Structure 1
Amino acid sequence: MRLDVSTSARGPLFDGRAQRLANAYVDHLERRLAEEGLTILRGEMHRVFRNPTGYYESRCKVVDGNTITDSRVVYGPWLAGIGSRNYPVTKFKGYDHWIRTRDQLNERKVRIGERLLRRYTGRM
């Protein structure tokens, strides 16, 4: 007895479309999370800053599509409470705006990722 089996590999999984879509999904997700993080960060700054001038907030932005930065504002570490001139040198312990942003973004990231993934899985 002899059995011959032949297969044909066609479709998005085999011609590279699925891989391109997966890469596009990851890029889009990183960009979306960074934008969401910036929105959260700005809300936290409005919540905790006592005398905001607007300069620090204007320097906070998304760079490279996936990184939130304060553009290395010289007093940024002091505001965050990690500078050399924070407690115990002064009474000011800093604000928790970056930490709260991280925590809130971690709570939302799965929901954001799942919602975004629905746009891509139908095309895979």
Structure 2
Amino acid sequence: MRLDVSSRASGPIFDGRAQRVANAYVNRLERQLADEGRSILLEELDRVLKTQTPFYATRIKVEDGNKITDSRVVYGPWLAGIGSRNYPVTKFKGYDHWYVTRDRLNARKQGIGERLLRRYTGRM
């Protein structure tokens, strides 16, 4: 007895379309999470800073599509409480705006990812 089996693979998984859509999804998700994190960070700055000056807030940007940065403002580490001039050198221990931003963004990321994924699954 002899059995010959042949198969043919076609479709988005086999021709690379699914991979391209998945990569586009990941890139878009990273950017959307960074934008959301930037918004949260600006809200947190409004909460913690008693006297608002626009300089620091205007330096908060999303770089490389997925990184939130304060553009290396010289007093940024001091505001965050990780600078060399924080406690015990001075009484100021810093604000928690970066930590709160991280926690709030972590709480929201699954919902953001699921909502965004709906736009991409039809193309896979």
TM interval, short-chain normalised: over 0.9
The amino acid of 1:95's aligned partner reads: Y
Aligned to 1:84: 84
1:96 equivalent to 2:89? Answer: no
Residue 72 of structure 1: how far off its partner (Å)? 0.3
Distance in 2 (alpha carbons) for counterparts of 1:30 and 1:40 = 15
Unaligned runs of 5+ in 1: none
1:97-112 → structure 2 map (5 Å cutoff): 97-112=97-112
1:1-124 → structure 2 map (5 Å cutoff): 1-124=1-124
The CA deviation string for residues 22-53 of structure 1, in whole angstroms up to 9 with x for no partner, is: 11011000000000000000000001101111
Distance in 1 (alpha carbons) for counterparts of 2:50 and 2:77 = 17
Residue 4 of structure 1: how far off its partner (Å)? 1.7
For normalisation by structure 1, the TM-score amounts to 0.97
The number of residue pairs the alignment matches comes to 124
CA RMSD between the two structures: 0.7
For normalisation by structure 2, the TM-score amounts to 0.97
Residue 2 of structure 1: how far off its partner (Å)? 2.0
SS across alignment from 2:82: coil
Distance in 1 (alpha carbons) for counterparts of 2:53 and 2:104 = 25
